[in-house]
Structure 1
Amino acid sequence: MQEFFENLLRYPRFLLGVTLGIFFAIFGWLKPLLKNPITAIALVGFLASGFLFIFFTLRAMLGVPTV
């Protein structure tokens, strides 16, 4: 039973490692784009619009009422 709990505690560390690895890989790919001000503004605008699109889509799909 002890081995089961040890194995179970490995999953959060694995999930954290995979998530951080993906984040750093994407950030390393986008880092050169932040050096030029025009592409940095476009990148921030693209990320903000993507976030808002997902936010409003999920809000409409889930039927969350407006305040």
Structure 2
Amino acid sequence: MRTFVLKPEGQKVDYELYAELSPVPLEIIDGDLFFTKEERENLLKLLIYNVGINRTLEIIEEWKER
């Protein structure tokens, strides 16, 4: 897996990174997953719901920019 860093602000996604991290095909438009901020945030909410807040925070700490 290539190296990437989570940052406080959102970052554009390219097809290579998406293919490495995602198990399913999704639409990428100008570096954004889906069309709208609301769609992206809804997907994030669903993933946090599934993973749990504690693990989500652990993942953020593991990948936080140093």
Q: Choose between structure 1 and 2 for higher RCO, CA contacts under 8 A separated by at least 6 residues.
A: 2
- Give the TM-score category using the shorter length: 0.3 to 0.5
Using structure 1 for the length normalisation, give the TM-score.
0.32
Higher relative strand content = 2
Using structure 2 for the length normalisation, give the TM-score.
0.32
Higher relative helix content = 1
| Bigger Rg over Cα | 1
